[in-house]
Amino acid sequence: MSSQKRKQVILGAYLGGVNHHTAWWDPQAGSQIEFDSFEHTARTAERGKFDFFFLAEGLALRERAGQIFDQDIIGRPDTFTVLASLAAVTEHLGLAGTINATFNEPYELARQFATLDQLSGGRAAWNVVTSFDAFTGQNFRRGGYLDRAQRYERAQETVALVRELWDSWRSDDIVADKASGRFLARPDAGEFAFHGSHFDVNGRFTVPRSPQGRPVILQAGVSPQGRDFAAGNADAIFSPYGQLPEAADFYRDIKARAVAAGRDPGDIKILPSASFVLGTSEADAIEKYREIRDQQVTGQTALVLLEQIWNLDLSKYDPEGPLPDIAPDPEAPPIIQGRAFIHQDRFATVAKLRAVAESKKLNLREVVIDQFERGPIVGTPQQVAEKIDSFVSNDGSDGFILGSHLVPTGLDEFVDDVVPLLQDRGVLRSDYEGTTLRDNLGLPIPVQRERATAR
């Protein structure tokens, strides 16, 4: 029998709250704002030896025809405040936050994440995102938004500058010799200068280097430009693919792009998000999933999701009836604001939906479920453990970021019933071996860059 160690499963935990998948109306659901909810999820994840806790962020409340709608959870505390609070009630769990690179200054970003990294003992991670619309930009001084090319250009420069700020301190810069009175090893600790197309700054950075060198960088990217950016900059990338073989194709592509960027392919981890439904039998799990899905995709939710494509008020249509018999209107003012529009060709998308409805004999709501809902991992605990192990071992990903429709207790049964089975398979740690997030993810401490005075 081979003694080779099996490929380990990376696990992140997310607390839902920015889309209709979170069943806030469920009698067992708790608050999306109270600290107890964040603490419960984080402590549960750490009990299950997860790698990190992930917190998404929305910079604007989503609207339909100028009014906030109830499909999404409304409001969420500031990400840095929540993660810093969680650092005090956890010991090993990584703390990952989504922070926008379009409307935040690099110096502020670098300082906030470096502070979180210091306070947590090297457990911070930054999910780098960009803003996609002028609607979100209205909340900020500059307003507006950048086109796709400029968004990535600014994001690339932001990440480069933030890393330079993090690297402006060496790990041995603080001597703090009480006998001699010498505090710093060199007088220029923290000095930086950066000259680019978006930023022209210089000064002294205020936060010394953390135990993991730099916070971990997370990124999502599906377009060729997004994939190149992630492969060149990220330590981990969120994958949108939860099924083989397309997930394996994406995995190979990102690893190849990492190599082309001069990186070791093992130094970038691929992580799709997923939910799960457990049952005492497969049939029981499937029945539970159907009940949850019907809670999530109500008739009203189905109409709102289709209004994104049609860009028209569809409230007069019956969700249990046929698809709208009208054409979309791309030129009309957006009826849905604050959601990323991923369907580039409205007319082609509508044609596809109608073809699906006709071939499968589906009504409007059923078409939405069939086409837009990524199914969770469903089965008994043994089946779910096997599916996760198989997906990772076949290079569909390096792990999963798991969440539940039920906040904050939904993760409990996974930790109680599935985690021990993954540990028995030898694909999940039984205890933390390192102290930093990079230790847990199997990522090296980054080589410190020399200070650059020009770009």
**Banded pLDDT at 71 (limits 50, 70, 90):** low
- Contact of 69 with 38, CB cutoff 8 Å: no
The answer on pLDDT for 80 being more than 90 is: yes
**Nearest-angstrom CA–CA distance, 13 and 45:** 6
Going by pLDDT thresholds of 50, 70 and 90, the confidence category of residue 450 is low
Res 341: pLDDT:
62
CB atoms within 10 A of CB 322: 14
pLDDT band for position 70 (cuts 50, 70, 90)? low
Q: Could you give the percent of the chain with pLDDT greater than 90? A: 68
pLDDT in tens, 351-395: 999 999 999 999 999 999 999 887 899 999 999 999 999 999 999
Which amino acid is it at 292? Answer: I
What is the average pLDDT across 15-38? 84
Answer yes or no: is pLDDT of 225 > 90: no
Which pLDDT value is given to residue 40? 97
pTM over 0.85: yes
Confidence category of residue 151, pLDDT binned at 50, 70, 90? confident
User: What are the chain's domains?
Assistant: 10-277+375-441 (3.20.20.30), 298-372 (no CATH)
Average pLDDT over residues 174-185: 93
Cα(397)–Cα(426) distance, integer angstroms:
17
Report whether 111 contacts 123 (CB < 8 A).
Answer: no
Instruction: Judge whether residue 132 has pLDDT over 70.
Output: no
* Residue 402 reports pLDDT greater than 90: yes
pLDDT at 223 over 50: yes
Tell me, what's the pLDDT at 167?
94
Q: Where does 7-84 show beta strands of DSSP type E?
A: 10-14, 52-55, 63-64, 67-68
Out of 70-79, 132-141, 193-202, the most confident range is 193-202
What is the rounded average pLDDT of the residues 161-183?
Answer: 94
* Residue 144 in this model has a pLDDT that exceeds 80: no
Q: At residue 216, does pLDDT exceed 70?
A: yes
pLDDT digits (tens, 9 = 90+) for 95-125: 999 998 888 899 999 999 999 999 999 999 9
pLDDT tens per residue, range 286-314: 999 999 998 889 898 899 999 999 999 99
Supply the pLDDT for residue 130: 80
Assess whether pLDDT exceeds 80 at residue 59.
no
- pLDDT band at residue 17 using 50, 70 and 90 as cut-offs: low
CA dist 220 and 368 (Å) reads 24
Check residue 41 and give its pLDDT: 97
pLDDT for position 453: 39
**Within 10 A of 362 (CB to CB), how many other CB atoms are there?**
18
Strands of 336-337's sheet, edge to edge? 67-68, 63-64, 336-337
* 152 annotated ligand binder: yes
pLDDT at residue 455, as a whole number: 38
98 labelled ligand-binding: yes
Q: Percent of the chain beyond pLDDT 70?
A: 92
pLDDT band per the 50, 70, 90 thresholds, residue 82: very high
**Mean pLDDT, rounded, for 417-429:** 98
pLDDT, one tens digit per residue, over 243-281 is 999 999 999 999 999 999 999 999 999 999 999 999 999
Q: Is the pLDDT of residue 452 over 80?
A: no
How many angstroms from the chain centroid is the CA of residue 338? 17
